[in-house]
Chains A and B, each alone.
Chain A
Amino acid sequence: MSNKKVLVIEDDRDVRLGYHVLLKSSGYDTFFAEDGMTAVTEARKQQPDVIILDLGLPAGDGFVVLERLRANTSLSLIPVIVVSGRDIHSSKERALKAGAKAFLQKPWDDRELLTLVRQLAGQSSMSASST
Chain B
Amino acid sequence: MVESSDDAIISKTLQGIITAWNHGAEKMFGYSAAEAIGQRMLMLIPEERLDEEASILERINRGQTIDHFETVRVRKDGSRIDISATISAIRDSNGAIVGAAKIARNITERRQAEEARRESEESFQAMANGIPQLAWMAAPDGGIFWYNQRWYDYTGTTADQMMGWGWQSVHDPQILPAVMQRWTRAIAGGTPFEMEFPLRGADGSFNVFLTRILPVKDSGGHVVRWFGTNTDVSQRTRADLKIEAQARELADSYEALERQTLMLQSVLDSMTEGLVAVDEQGKFIIWNVMAENLLGLGATDLPAELWNQHYGLFMNDTVTPFPTEQMPVMRALRGEASRTEMFVRNPQIPEGGWIEVYAGPRQDKDGVIRGGVAAFRDITKLKADEREIRRLNQKLEKRVEERTTQLEAANKHLAGHLTDQIRFKDEFLSHVSHELRSPLTAIKQFTSILREGMAGALSAEQKGFLDIVFRNIVQLQAMIDDLLEISRMESGKLTMHPVTMSVLDAVTDACDTLRLSAAAKGVTLAWDPPSGLPSITADPTRLRQILIILIDNAVKFTPPGGAIKIEVRFAPDDPQFLVVEISDSGCGMSAEASNKVFERLYQVSDSGQTRKGLGTRLIHLQRVGRPAGRPNMGSQPAAGRQRLLLHRAGLFPGQPDCPAAERGKMADGIDCPGYREHNVRRPPAFAAIHGGVDARSPRPGGAMPHAQPGCAVAADEIWRRRRAFLHRGLCRRHRPQFWRRGFANRPATFPSPDTPASPSLSLIPC
Contact = CB atoms under 8 A, between A and B. Distances in A.
Interface of A: 12, 14-15, 17-19, 21-22, 25, 56, 83, 85-90, 105-110
Given A21-B449, A25-B454, A107 B495 contact: no
A18 B488 contact: no
Contacts of A110: 444-445, 448-449, 452
A14 B444 CA distance: 11
Contacts of B446: 14, 18, 21
A107 B493 contact: no
B454 A21 contact: yes
Nearest to B541: A89
Contacts of B433: 85
Interface residues of B, number: 29
A15 B441 contact: yes
B488 A15 contact: no
Contacts of B448: 22, 109-110
Nearest to B442: A14
Contact of A107 (B443, B454, B455): B443
Contact of B441 (A21, A89, A90, A107): A107
B473 interface: yes
A90 B437 contact: no
A85 B444 contact: no
A90 B442 CA distance: 23
Given A21-B449, A107-B477, A110-B445, A86 B440 contact: no
Contacts of A21: 445-446, 449, 454-455
B610 interface: no
Interface in B438-466: 438-446, 448-449, 452, 454-455
Contacts of A25: 449, 452, 454
Contacts of B454: 21-22, 25
A79 B334 CA distance: 107
A22 B441 CA distance: 13
Contact of A18 (B434, B437, B449, B495): B449
Max chain A Cβ within 10 angstroms of own Cβ: one of B430, B446, B495: B446
A19 B445 contact: yes
Nearest to B437: A85
A21 B440 CA distance: 17
Nearest to B481: A105
A89 B434 CA distance: 13
Contacts of A19: 445
Given A21-B454, A22-B454, A89 B437 contact: no
Q: Give the interface centre of B436, B441, B444, B493 by most chain A CB atoms within 10 Å.
A: B441
B449 A106 contact: no
B435 interface: yes
Query: A-B pairs with the 5 shortest C-beta distances?
Result: A18-B445, A85-B437, A14-B442, A107-B441, A106-B437
Nearest to B449: A21
Given A22-B454, A110-B452, A85 B445 contact: no
Q: Which of A15, A17, A19, A83 has the most CB of B within 10 A?
A: A15
- Interface SS, B side: helix
A110 B441 CA distance: 10
Contacts of A87: 430, 434, 484, 487-488, 493
Interface in B486-537: 487-488, 493-495
B434 A15 contact: no
A80 to B, nearest CB: 18
B442 A12 contact: yes
Nearest to A111: B448
Interface in B391-443: 430, 433-443
Contacts of A85: 433-438, 441
A64 B508 CA distance: 40
A107 B435 contact: no
A121 B495 CA distance: 33
Contact of A108 (B434, B441, B455, B493): B441
22 contacts: A12-B438, A12-B442, A14-B446, A21-B449, A21-B454, A21-B455, A22-B448, A22-B449, A25-B449, A85-B433, A85-B441, A86-B434, A87-B487, A87-B493, A89-B494, A105-B437, A107-B437, A107-B441, A107-B443, A107-B444, A108-B444, A110-B449
Contacts of B449: 18, 21-22, 25, 110
A15 B484 CA distance: 21
B438 A106 contact: yes
Contacts of A83: 441
B488 A22 contact: no
A18 B441 contact: yes
Nearest to B495: A89
A83 B445 CA distance: 13
A103 B736 CA distance: 30
Contacts of A109: 448
A18 B442 contact: yes
B493 A106 contact: no
A22 B451 CA distance: 12
Given A15-B442, A86-B434, 8 more contacts: A14-B445, A18-B445, A18-B449, A22-B445, A25-B449, A25-B454, A88-B484, A107-B473
Contacts of A89: 488, 493-495
Nearest to A93: B495
A88 B436 CA distance: 14
B92 to A, nearest CB: 191
Contacts of B440: 106-107
Contacts of B488: 87, 89
A55 B477 CA distance: 18
Residue of B443, B445, B446, B481 with most chain A CB atoms under a 10 A cut-off: B445
Nearest to B448: A110
A91 to B, nearest CB: 10
Contacts of A17: 442
A83 B438 CA distance: 10
Contacts of A106: 437-438, 440-441
A96 to B, nearest CB: 14
A33 to B, nearest CB: 16
Contacts of B494: 89
A56 B430 CA distance: 13
Contact of A12 (B436, B441, B481): B441
Contacts of A88: 484
A22 B452 CA distance: 10
A15 B440 CA distance: 9
B430 A107 contact: no
A88 B494 CA distance: 11
A12 B436 CA distance: 13
A15 B435 CA distance: 13
